[in-house]
Amino acid sequence: MTHLNVVRAMLLLVPAIAAGQAGGPDVRVSPATVTVNSQGPTTSILTYSGVGGYTPAEGTWCAKVAPALDRGVRCDPSTIYGQAPRPARPVSAAGTFTDVMSVSASVAQRAYEAAIAGGSPRFYFVRRFEAPAMTKVPGVDQYVVVALLLGGGGANAPFALTNVRLRVNPEAPVLFVKRGTEPSPMTAEIAYTGSGRLRGRWEIVMPGETRPTARDLMTEGSLPSTERGLQRRYREIERFNVLLLPNGRFTLPGPDPSRLPTTLDGSYTILLRVETSDDARSDVRVVGSGTVVHNGASADFPMPTLRYIVGATGARVAPSRIPQNVRLRLPAAGTTVAPDATLTLSWSDVAAAERYRVDIENVANGATLLSAIVASGVGRYAVPPFAISASGPARWRITALDAAGREAGRSEWRRVQRQAR
């Protein structure tokens, strides 16, 4: 049997290998197949069971898999699209591990370009699990694979939030409000994949209360089932429950300003709390237990917050203290890109940045064309072709985010335009 036929045979056995059919305690994953957005980022919750004493290690996205020297199949090194770091989440006492898999727009674009060039619309995510030092199982690592299918604009992808921005007019990180008056109305601009019920509540952190942690600000669907209901709760201001169609973007009205407290001087923080949605494409069955866990409206980042300060003086905007310390590299300001050319943005890393947010806006009307998250250390982002058209100039900016999702720095805006055919 030729090497090519061996690889083809292993591909046919991917579901069986992923389910751990080789005997002995094996790591299994649900779901084993995920539809992803070919034109943007996708977030999906993966539940691994049978982890036991194994330790989750790095993950890899690739076009092809090949037999591993250990157990399972691993990515073919010549077809790697990107890598995911070793996760910080621990394995539960029951031997399950909940992973938030985020396929970036750049990885999806590489898979899409390979598909339209004649390749397969299927690619893979492989997570390695390190074998325990002392175990009855032979000391070999396990590789668990998830098949990813390109699904157009993401309508068939799991219902997940890919970006959320809280906006108030005038835009500012902190607002000063005169005692007894109403704060300015606010909105939440939400980018998402799939479709489903967006439900949750607006909460308020009163002066003197303990501020929420990044874990408290995660959406409920992003947490393991054993940790749900353990997030810190605050005073509820208003609830929301809306059906999001597969359009990819939605503007959620903020809470009624008249319900926001302004009688006590001090600092208040408005929280967006997103609850679990029971979207069918986001349901995960814990392998071996038959339990179905709803993970709709998941996200791989904490929800943003908005702060306002009540005092005796009139309303004013607090000056932004976010330093402009992110240095842009390419393309240069005012660059015009050829109609079919790939546009790659690049910048220099800054200290304390765990990830970066790429924002692209229409210069004429300020509309958001694209917003994406890039891990620290990459320093570049390939813009999907749909984001910047020849309809007019756009501008882009890079914002540095710390481990809690707070802004740690940003760049200036820089213009770019695509040439008409």
Secondary structure class of 21 (helix, strand, coil): coil
Domains of the chain (ranges; CATH) run: 3-150 (2.60.40), 160-317 (2.60.40), 335-418 (2.60.40.10)
Contact assessment for residue 376 and residue 414, using Cβ atoms and an 8 Å cutoff: no
Contact assessment for residue 151 and residue 157, using Cβ atoms and an 8 Å cutoff: yes
User: In terms of Cα–Cα distance, which of 115, 57, 79, 60 is closest to 7?
Assistant: 79
Check whether the bond before 132 is cis (ω within 30° of 0): no
Residue 208 contacts by C-beta under 8 Å, 6 or more apart in sequence? 266
Structure tokens of 372?
A: 């994406």
In one-letter notation, the amino acid at residue 1 is M
Tens of each residue's pLDDT in the chain, 421 residues: 444 343 344 444 444 333 333 333 588 888 889 999 888 888 888 989 888 888 999 999 999 998 877 778 889 999 999 888 888 778 887 788 888 898 988 898 899 999 888 888 999 999 999 887 655 555 588 999 999 999 876 677 888 998 898 888 766 666 788 888 888 899 999 989 888 899 999 999 998 888 898 889 999 988 887 788 889 999 999 999 999 988 888 999 999 999 999 988 888 999 999 999 876 665 555 555 556 777 888 888 899 898 888 876 554 444 456 677 889 998 988 888 887 788 899 998 887 788 888 988 888 777 778 888 888 888 899 888 777 876 678 899 999 887 767 788 889 999 998 887 6
DSSP letter string over 360-387?
EEETTT--EEEEEEEETTT-EEEE-TTT
